[in-house]
Structure 1
Amino acid sequence: MQQSNTYIITFSVILTVILGLLLSGTSQVLGPMQKEAIALDNKKQILGALISGDEIAAMSPKEVNAYYESRVSTVVVDINGKEVTEQDGVAVTAETVDVAKNYKKPKEERLFPVYIYHAEGNPDDVANYVLPLYGAGLWNAIWGYIALDTDMNTVGGITLAHAGETPGLGARITDSEVQSRYVGKTIYDESGKLVAVEMQKGEGIDYSNSPHKVDGMSGATITGKGVNNMLYNYLNYYQAYIESKKSSTAVAAL
C-alpha cells in the first residue's frame, strides 16, 4: 500500500530522533568507560618505560592504577622548561594534555607533560623522568615514552607504539627486544651536545659500544627514521627542562 508523503516524512523524523537518542544514550554510558580505558592504557605505556611488560601484564587494572598513583607524580612544562599550572584560566595537568593534539601546534605553543617516577616508599627520591614522544612513521602516527635516569642523560627505558605500521616490519617497534636496545644509551655526546639515540639502517650489527646508536629493523628503514626524528625532536623540545634538572642535580651534589 502506498503511503502518503506526510506519513513517510513523519516516520523518518521519528526514526531519526529515536536513533539519535539511542546513540546519545550509548555515548553517555560508554564515554566514561572509554576515557578510563584510554587513561589506563597511557599509564601502562608510561610504566612500560620503567618496568617489564610481563610485570605490567600480570597486574589488574586496579593494581596498575594503584602502582601508578603511588610511584608517579607529574608536572607540565613549556618549551622553555618552565612549569605550567594553567592556560587561559584553565587548570593544566599532565593528564589533561593531549600530546597528539599538541603535536599540531607550533612548538612554542605546546604543553609538555613530565612523569616523575619515585623510588618505592620514598616520594622524595626520584628514580627516573619519563617524557612523551610523538611523530610520524611510514603509514601513520607513532608515539611512545622515554625514561631518563636522574643524570638526565642515560636512557632507562622506552616504549614505542604505532597506529598502522607494517606487521613484521615497522610494527616491530612495539617488540620488547627492539625497545630494550635503547636501555643504557646516552642522549648527550662527550662535548655536551644533545644528539639523542639513532636507530641504524639494516639489522644484525652490534652497537653495544656505540652510546648513541641502536641496531635497526630489517625492511623498516622509513619507520626507523620516523622513530629517530620523533626522539630527536622531542628531546630537543624538553631540552630546557632536561638542562634545568641536570643543573639542579649538579648543585645538589656539591
Structure 2
Amino acid sequence: MRQSNGYIIMYATILTVVCGVLLAVASEGLKPLQQANIELEQKESILSSVFTLEKGDDVAAIYEQRVKSYVVDAKGNVVDGKKVEEVDVVEEYKKPVEQRLLPVYEIVSENDPNVIDSYVLPLRGYGLWNNIWGFIALDKDLNTVKGVRFEHAGETPGLGARIATEEVQQRYVGKKIADGSQIVAVQMMKGEGNDYSDSPHKVDGMSGATITAKGLNNMLTEYLKAYESFFKSKSSNKQAVNLNK
C-alpha cells in the first residue's frame, strides 16, 4: 500500500531522531576510553622522545616511574597547584608567548628518582596546511637534543609529512639549542642531501617541503625561547621545584 507523504516524512524524522540519540549516547559512553587513549598516546610520545620503547612495554607504568611534571610560566616560575594535565597546549598556543603556561616533564633515572636524565617540552606550531606539534627532549644540560617527536594534521604525504618519520627526527639528535647564553634552536635548512654534522644548530632539509620546514623552525624557536627563563632558573639553581605527578 502506498504511504502518504506525511507518513514518509514522519517516519524519516523519527528514524533520524532515534539514530541521533543512539549516536550521542554511544559517543558519551566512549569518551572516557577515547580520553584514556589520547593520554596514553601522549605519554608514549614523551617517553619515546628520550628512549626507544620496546613492543609490549607498559607505557603507563614506565611513565609513572620515570616522569615527574610541573608547569612554569614565561618567567620560569613554577605555577603552584597547576598540573600538566590541566594545561591545554592547543589553547595556550593561541595566547601571546608571555602569557602561556608551559608544561615541563622531567625524565628521572631508572635507578634513582632523584637524578634527572633529561627534560621533555611540548611544542606547537603551523606548517604548510595545518597545525604541527610534538615534543623535544633535552639532556640534563638543557642544551643537547636527545630526541624529538613531531606530528602534523595535514602536511603533504612524501614531502612535509616526513617530519613525522624517524629518519627526519633522528637528524636532530645531538644538536644544540643554545649558542653561549643565546637560544638559537635548531634550524632545518633548505634543500636536502647536505652534511651538517659539523654544525651544532643545523639539520638537513626536506626536498619540496620548504614551508613545512620553516614552520618547524618557527615552532622550535618560539617554544624554546618561551622556556628560556626556565632554563636560566635551572642553570642558576635558584628555584626549588615542587613536583606534581
TM-score (norm 1): 0.87
Q: Which digits, 9 at most, give the CA deviation of each residue in 1:63-87, with x for residues without a partner?
A: 011111110010011111111234x
The one-letter amino acid paired with 1:38 is I
1:245 matched to which residue of 2? 234
> Which SS does the other structure have where 1:51 is aligned?
coil
* Alignment of 1:195 onto 2:184: yes
Distance, in Å, in 2 between the alignment partners of 1:160 and 1:9 is 50
Aligned residues, how many?
237
Match of 1:185 in 2: 175
Q: Which residue of 1 aligns with 2:117?
A: 127
Return the letter of the residue paired with 1:244.
S
2:71 equivalent among 76, 80, 86: 76
Tell me by how many angstroms 1:222 deviates.
Answer: 0.8
Q: What amino acid maps onto 2:111 in structure 1? A: G
* Contact 2:136-2:148 at 8 Å conserved across structures: yes
**Alignment match, 1:230:** 219
**Secondary structure, counterpart of 2:179 in structure 1:** coil
Match of 1:206 among 184, 190, 195: 195
Cα distance in 1 between the residues matched to 2:17 and 2:78? 47
1:106 Cα shift? 2.2
Q: Does 1:145 align with 2:135?
A: yes
Q: Which has the higher contact order (CA 8 A, sep 6+)?
A: 2
Q: Residue in 1 aligned with 2:44?
A: 44
Q: Considering only aligned residues, what root-mean-square deviation do their CA atoms show, in Å?
A: 1.8
Deviation at 1:43, TM superposition (A): 1.0
SS at match of 1:181: helix
Choose from 77, 81, 85 the match for 2:80: 85
For the residues of structure 2 that align with 1:248 and 1:85, how far apart are their CA atoms? 18
Q: CA deviation at 1:12?
A: 5.7
Quote the residue 2:18 is aligned against. Answer: 18
1:66 aligns with 2:61: yes
Structure 1, residues 100-156: CA drift from partner, whole Å, max 9, x if none? Answer: 121112223321111110000311110001000000011111111011111111111
Deviates most, 32-41 or 95-104: 95-104
Question: 1:85 & 1:20 partners in 2: Cα distance?
Answer: 43
The equivalent residue for 1:252 is none
Distance 1:194 1:131 in 2: 15
CA distance in 2, matches of 1:2, 1:109: 63
Question: Taking structure 1 as reference, are residues 153 and 3 closer, same or farther at Cα in structure 2, changes over 3 Å only?
Answer: same
The aligned amino acid for 2:71 is: V
- 1:147-169 CA distances to partner (integer Å, 9 max, x unpaired)? 11111111111111111111111
Aligned partner of 2:29: which letter?
V
Per-residue CA distance 1:192-217 (angstroms, 9 max, x = gap): 21111111101111111111111111
Distance 1:85 1:31 in 2: 29
The sequence identity of aligned pairs, in percent, is 54
**Letter matched to residue 193 of structure 2:** G
Q: Which runs of 5+ in 1 are unaligned?
A: 87-91, 250-254
Query: 2:229 & 2:56 partners in 1: Cα distance?
Result: 35
Match of 1:113, SS?
Answer: strand
The answer to whether the 8 A contact 2:98-2:226 is kept is no
